[in-house]
């Protein structure tokens, strides 16, 4: 019969039962059996079955609710069995009355026991739950002595329950409050509650930040009896908040340093977000609402279309937006900004453009200043080069002038003859005209070279540039008894660039070659100039001399500013050549074999229009 009970229990409590519980259960079963035997076999006229109450009371702490009901039903069954075995179906006897009394007693006891068990189980559950929370639950009396120490407290502070209970709370945890202890206690006694951040110490001495929630419990005389406190560890949270704050501060610092602000634009609502640095760049007030219209208002009128197009692209959800434009401040200052934005989707399907806005005014200004000084330096070196060529150029102009003078006097003499020879006069005048034109061509070239203008970016034929350059240096080359031959391997060499600056580079390279050979005695001096197309399709110019060549020591420094091998050289020529060629997107380099002369190479990317 006891076996019939077991399966229910086993299902309810699958884990192996403690031996003690098993023993108690067998005790209860034995007791029930003894009562049954006495009830059945003896004929004592008392309600022995009432004793089953004891079995039920025993089972309350041993079984679950269903188990207790089962035990109760068993007891009722046993009582009825004993009755029928002893008395048969004699329902009028006093025995039957006793049986009824016993059954009522068993039923009432079961009901009471179950009710009590329900209340008890609820309490147990609450305790279990409480024990499971990570929060530390500490109860201390008004002297600060710990009376309750939860598993959460054990885990948090490292002190076991046995170690903590009976200890002074303040000695054990060394709490540090932001306000005096007395003030906290006063507030607690007054209101019955207190909540605040406290830094306490673990068993290993490490600090732990907790949020402490205290409530005061009072005795029946309404006197403060104990303090119930839950301590919640917020050290990690605190660290995370601090880390976030720090990273925000880093970001703000970085934004300030790099003059880069952040902008967010939600699509399609148009809602905006500006970081502080973005506000500073736009020069918006702190209270100004982030609106697209305010951004447009600060945009330079000339760049308005550009910005509007970018915004349109953002609304079209383009994956990448990069725009460089100008802002016009109220006082007329112009700022150059660069914006780089990309879209971000969140899980809810919201679409937002996150952009970095960079104030590049300073960089732009320095770039312009650098550009200006480079242009100026190029001009100065050009003038210097012309200075070096002065003697040749003077001769170049003087030659036609001498011819003009001579033709003029000859013409006059032909006129003054007794019979003027008008044919001779006419041809003299024609020669004067062509010589005047020749002189003015030389002057035009010099003027073009000495002109100080911003570099242009126009399609030019490199061949024409070379021809012009050769015309300017022709006499200088001849004066140094150098044979210059040029070879054009291609019919057209159109590139994008500045005619005068490129001419300057060619002249510089030729003069360098001429000067390199001017000391070479004995062997014939030749300067070879070649225009060709490389295998990669670039337009190339090679200027080759047969002077002493470039030493391996000089080679790496060749294009450095102020590097010169000439006694009166400034060391700017090749340096300027390089910055000019760089600005044209081309390359300049030199090759040389000792004693075999040097070759300077230029290469330019082909004009796209030409190849298209």
The nearest distance, CB 506 to another protein, in angstroms, is 23
4-12, 115-123, 198-206, 394-402 -> range binding another protein (CB under 8 A)? 394-402
Tell me: does residue 482 bind another protein (CB under 8 A): no
The nearest distance, CB 595 to another protein, in angstroms, is 26
The nearest distance, CB 435 to another protein, in angstroms, is 5
For strands 482-488 and 525-533, give the pairing. Answer: parallel
Nearer to another protein, 435 or 498 (CB): 435
Nearer to another protein, 166 or 524 (CB): 524
> Taking Cα atoms as reference points, which of 509, 504, 527, 508 lies closest to residue 584?
504
The nearest distance, CB 425 to another protein, in angstroms, is 9
Nearer to another protein, 276 or 480 (CB): 480
Give the C-alpha distances (Å, rounded to integers) separating 336 from 89, 237, 363, 506: 112, 42, 9, 36
Nearer to another protein, 428 or 507 (CB): 428
| Residue 520 · residue 483 · CB < 8 Å | no
The nearest distance, CB 421 to another protein, in angstroms, is 8
Beta strand spans in 99-252 (E): 136-141, 146-149, 176-177, 193-201, 207-218, 224-233
Give dist(CA 164, CA 231) in Å, integer: 15
The nearest distance, CB 546 to another protein, in angstroms, is 19
| Residue 468 · residue 508 · CB < 8 Å | no
Nearer to another protein, 127 or 391 (CB): 391
Residue partners of 314: CB distance under 8 A and separation at least 6? 265, 267, 321, 341, 343, 353
Q: Collapse the DSSP code of 222 into the 3-class scheme (helix H, G, I; strand E, B; otherwise coil) and give the result.
A: coil
HSE-up (13 A, CA, CB side) for residue 68? 25
Tell me: does residue 438 bind another protein (CB under 8 A): yes
Positive or negative CA dihedral for 91, 97, 98, 101? positive
Nearer to another protein, 179 or 415 (CB): 415
The nearest distance, CB 405 to another protein, in angstroms, is 4
Positive or negative CA dihedral for 86, 90, 91, 95? negative
Q: Which two tokens stand for residue 573?
A: 């020529």
Nearer to another protein, 235 or 406 (CB): 406
Positive or negative CA dihedral for 83, 89, 90, 91? positive
Q: Which of 87, 395, 532, 533 binds another protein (CB under 8 A)?
A: 395
Nearer to another protein, 327 or 428 (CB): 428
Nearer to another protein, 145 or 397 (CB): 397
Q: Which two tokens stand for residue 446?
A: 């010099």
The nearest distance, CB 520 to another protein, in angstroms, is 18
129-137, 156-164, 381-389, 392-400 -> range binding another protein (CB under 8 A)? 392-400
Tell me: does residue 526 bind another protein (CB under 8 A): no
Nearer to another protein, 117 or 431 (CB): 431
The nearest distance, CB 416 to another protein, in angstroms, is 9
Give the C-alpha distances (Å, rounded to integers) separating 386 from 381, 451, 476: 8, 12, 11
Give dist(CA 561, CA 25) in Å, integer: 104
Give the C-alpha distances (Å, rounded to integers) separating 534 from 460, 589, 606, 609: 19, 14, 10, 18
The nearest distance, CB 360 to another protein, in angstroms, is 55
Nearer to another protein, 137 or 410 (CB): 410
Nearer to another protein, 46 or 483 (CB): 483
Q: Collapse the DSSP code of 462 into the 3-class scheme (helix H, G, I; strand E, B; otherwise coil) and give the result.
A: helix
The nearest distance, CB 432 to another protein, in angstroms, is 9
| Residue 280 · residue 327 · CB < 8 Å | no
238-246, 264-272, 395-403, 461-469 -> range binding another protein (CB under 8 A)? 395-403
Give the C-alpha distances (Å, rounded to integers) separating 453 from 18, 146, 389, 500: 102, 90, 21, 9
Nearer to another protein, 421 or 441 (CB): 421
The nearest distance, CB 525 to another protein, in angstroms, is 13
Binding mask 397-436 for another protein (x = CB under 8 A): -xxxxxxxxxx-xxx-xx--x---x--x--xx--x--xx-
Residue partners of 326: CB distance under 8 A and separation at least 6? 299, 300, 302, 303, 334, 335, 336, 337
Q: Which of 97, 391, 490, 492 binds another protein (CB under 8 A)?
A: 391
Give dist(CA 146, CA 155) in Å, integer: 16
17-25, 106-114, 390-398, 513-521 -> range binding another protein (CB under 8 A)? 390-398
Tell me which residues in 132-191 interact with another protein (CB under 8 A): none
The nearest distance, CB 302 to another protein, in angstroms, is 54
Tell me which residues in 452-481 interact with another protein (CB under 8 A): 478-479
Q: Give yes or no for a cis peptide into 268 (omega within 30° of 0).
A: yes
> Taking Cα atoms as reference points, which of 58, 59, 36, 56 lies closest to residue 48?
36
The nearest distance, CB 568 to another protein, in angstroms, is 21
Nearer to another protein, 45 or 417 (CB): 417
Task: Provide Rg for the chain, Cα atoms.
Answer: 54
192-200, 283-291, 391-399, 495-503 -> range binding another protein (CB under 8 A)? 391-399
Site residue total, another protein (CB under 8 A): 28
Binding mask 96-135 for another protein (x = CB under 8 A): ----------------------------------------
Give dist(CA 187, CA 210) in Å, integer: 19
Give the C-alpha distances (Å, rounded to integers) separating 416 from 370, 412, 420: 64, 6, 6
The nearest distance, CB 559 to another protein, in angstroms, is 35
HSE-up (13 A, CA, CB side) for residue 395? 12
Nearer to another protein, 179 or 402 (CB): 402
Q: Would you tell me which residues interact with another protein (CB under 8 A)?
A: 391, 395, 398-407, 409-411, 413-414, 417, 421, 424, 427-428, 431, 434-435, 438, 478-479
């Amino acid at each position: 019969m006891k076996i019939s009970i077991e399966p229910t229990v086993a299902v309810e409590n699958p884990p192996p039962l403690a031996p003690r519980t098993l023993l108690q259960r067998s005790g209860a079963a034995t007791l029930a059996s003894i009562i049954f035997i006495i009830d059945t076999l003896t004929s004592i006229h008392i309600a022995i079955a009432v004793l089953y109450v004891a079995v039920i009371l025993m089972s309350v702490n041993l079984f679950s609710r269903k188990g207790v009901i089962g035990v109760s039903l068993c007891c009722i069954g046993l009582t009825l069995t004993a009755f029928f075995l002893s008395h048969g179906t004699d329902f009028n006897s006093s025995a039957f009355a006793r049986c009824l009394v016993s059954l009522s007693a068993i039923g009432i006891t079961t009901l009471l026991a179950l009710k009590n068990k329900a209340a008890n189980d609820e309490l147990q559950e609450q305790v279990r739950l409480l024990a499971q929370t990570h929060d530390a639950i500490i109860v201390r009396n008004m002297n600060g002595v710990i009376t309750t120490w939860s598993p959460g407290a054990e885990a948090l502070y490292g002190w076991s329950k046995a170690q903590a209970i009976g200890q002074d709370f303040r000695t054990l945890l060394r709490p540090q409050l932001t306000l005096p202890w007395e003030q906290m206690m006063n507030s607690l006694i007054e209101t019955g509650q207190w909540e605040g951040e406290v830094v306490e110490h673990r068993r290993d001495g490490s600090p732990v930040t907790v949020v402490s929630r205290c409530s005061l419990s009072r005795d029946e005389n309404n006197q403060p009896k104990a303090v119930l406190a839950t301590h919640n560890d917020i050290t990690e949270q605190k660290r995370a908040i601090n880390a976030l704050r720090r990273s925000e501060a880093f970001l703000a610092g970085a934004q300030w340093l790099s003059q880069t602000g952040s902008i967010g634009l939600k699509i399609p609502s148009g809602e905006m977000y500006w970081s502080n640095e973005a506000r500073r760049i736009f020069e918006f007030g702190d209270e100004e609402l982030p609106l697209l219209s305010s951004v447009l208002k600060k945009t330079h009128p000339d760049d308005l279309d550009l910005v509007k197009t970018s915004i349109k692209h953002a609304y079209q959800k383009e994956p990448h937006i990069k725009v460089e434009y100008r802002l016009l401040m109220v006082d007329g200052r112009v700022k150059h900004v660069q914006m780089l934005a990309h879209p971000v989707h969140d899980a809810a399907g919201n679409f937002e453009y996150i952009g970095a806005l960079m104030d590049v005014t300073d960089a732009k200004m320095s770039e312009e200043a650098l550009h200006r000084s480079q242009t100026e330096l190029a001009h100065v070196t050009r003038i210097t080069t012309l200075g070096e060529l002065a003697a040749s150029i003077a001769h170049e102009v003087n030659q036609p002038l001498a011819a003009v003078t001579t033709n003029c006097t000859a013409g006059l003499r032909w006129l003054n003859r007794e019979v003027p020879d008008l044919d001779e006069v006419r041809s003299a005048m024609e020669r004067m005209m062509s010589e005047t034109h020749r002189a003015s061509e030389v002057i035009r070239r010099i003027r073009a070279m000495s002109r100080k203008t911003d570099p242009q970016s126009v399609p030019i034929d490199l061949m024409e540039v070379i021809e012009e350059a050769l015309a300017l240096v022709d006499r200088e080359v001849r004066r140094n008894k150098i044979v210059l031959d040029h070879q054009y391997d291609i019919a057209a060499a159109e590139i994008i660039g500045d005619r005068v600056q490129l001419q300057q580079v060619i002249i510089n390279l030729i003069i360098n070659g001429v000067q390199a050979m001017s000391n070479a005695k004995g062997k014939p001096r030749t300067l070879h100039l070649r225009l060709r197309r490389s295998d990669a399709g670039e337009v190339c110019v090679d200027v080759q001399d047969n002077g002493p060549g470039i030493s391996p020591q000089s080679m790496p420094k060749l294009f450095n500013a102020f590097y010169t091998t000439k006694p009166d050289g400034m060391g700017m020529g090749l340096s300027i050549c390089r910055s000019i060629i760089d600005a044209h997107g081309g390359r300049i380099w030199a090759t040389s074999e000792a004693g075999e002369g040097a070759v300077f190479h230029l290469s330019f990317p082909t004009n796209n229009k030409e190849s298209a």
